[in-house]
Structure 1
Amino acid sequence: MTDPAERVSITIPRSVLAKFDSMLADRGFANRSQAITEILNREIIEASSEKEEQVMAGTITLFYSTRRNNLQSTLSKIQRKHLAEVISSLHVQLEDDHIMEVLVVQGPAAKLRSISNELITCKGVKTGKLNLSSIIMPPLHQ
């Protein structure tokens, strides 16, 4: 069953519309409606993740160097400390002794943000990002 659509009209400055059209062409959106719907959904998810009790699923993506002593051990300890929220991880070997690590997570949004911050702020992590979705996985164990 599909969600019924509503037609709306908005006014956007021409310069913004031109940049928007360029962006949606670059990303491969079929039309403006599809792009606007995706952007609105992303913002709605972000706003709803600010509610502490909201259960969400998502990923934490980390980029770091293996040259940093004990960093991988530290990251593993943090993940083990949060076994209920960290569902799975993927390590991708990159050039120059770097790793991209993607963690699949689920739980209360505030807890996921806290875990993400704990991981991203480890000395040696070059960059990281938490991405959340309001669609959750079924319970792993009952």
Structure 2
Amino acid sequence: MQRVTITLTDDIAEALDDFLAASGAANRSEAIRDLVRRGLAARADAPREAPCYGVVSCAVDQSMRNLAVRVPQSRLDRHDQTVAALSVPLDHSTSLEVAVMRGQVGDVSGFAEALFLERGVMHGALSLIPVSEGGPEHVHNAGEAHAHAHVKVESGF
């Protein structure tokens, strides 16, 4: 086993202790190992090259080291993957950021994980929606006719 030293805010340490008590873990190390395993397993189900849509959400402290500039820039850097973005002010310095991304699981989850590691980003969550792309091209009768294919939402990866 490897020893890893981490620093937790008081709130996270208290939440970890609450999790420890509720889960029956013997100590903080056991609780953290369990949480890490769960987090890694949640990402392991989806092949990195599978097509998906991802909903990325987090709270952002806008007063933190140019974070108010870097978060929107990170979406602009991925303009071909960004479908929509929403920023909701929560208080004088914190906003709720939501981005809908599309692409391969590895790219979408990589974007989310990089964002969640930024200092000042809290409560990060990623929800992946598996899709299949393509299908038969067809034409609708409404409006100007053009051949196209649709994305189909799948039940799993």
- TM-score under structure 2 length normalisation: 0.53
Q: Contact (CA 8 Å) 1:46, 1:132: kept in 2 or not?
A: no
Q: Does the 8 A contact of 1:60 with 1:103 survive in 2?
A: yes
Give yes or no for contact 1:58–1:132 (8 Å, CA) kept in 2.
Answer: yes
Structure 2 counterpart of 1:128: 124
**Could you say what the CA RMSD is over the residues aligned between the two structures, in angstroms?**
2.2
Matched with 1:87 is: 83
Q: Which residue of 2 aligns with 1:19?
A: none
Cα separation, partners in 2 of 1:122 and 1:136, compared to 1, 3 Å: farther
TM-score normalized with structure 1 length:
0.58
Matched residue, 2:94: 98
5+ unaligned residues in a row in structure 2: which ranges?
1-41, 134-149, 152-157
AA aligned opposite 2:124: G
Q: What are the ranges of 5 or more consecutive residues in structure 1 without an aligned counterpart? A: 1-44
1:57 aligns with 2:80: no
One-letter identity of the residue aligned with 2:79: L
Aligned residues: 94
1:114 aligned partner? 110
Stretches of 4+ aligned residues off by more than 2 angstroms: 45-48, 135-139
CA contact (8 A) 1:94 1:100 kept: yes
Contact 1:106 1:136 in 2 (8 A): no
Write the letter of the residue equivalent to 2:50.
Q
Cα distance in 2 for residues equivalent to 1:46 and 1:115: 13
Aligned residue number for residue 24 of structure 2: none
How far the C-alpha of 1:136 sits from its partner, in A, is 6.3
Structure 1 residues 112 and 95, CA gap change in structure 2 (3 angstroms): same
Q: CA deviation at 1:47?
A: 5.2
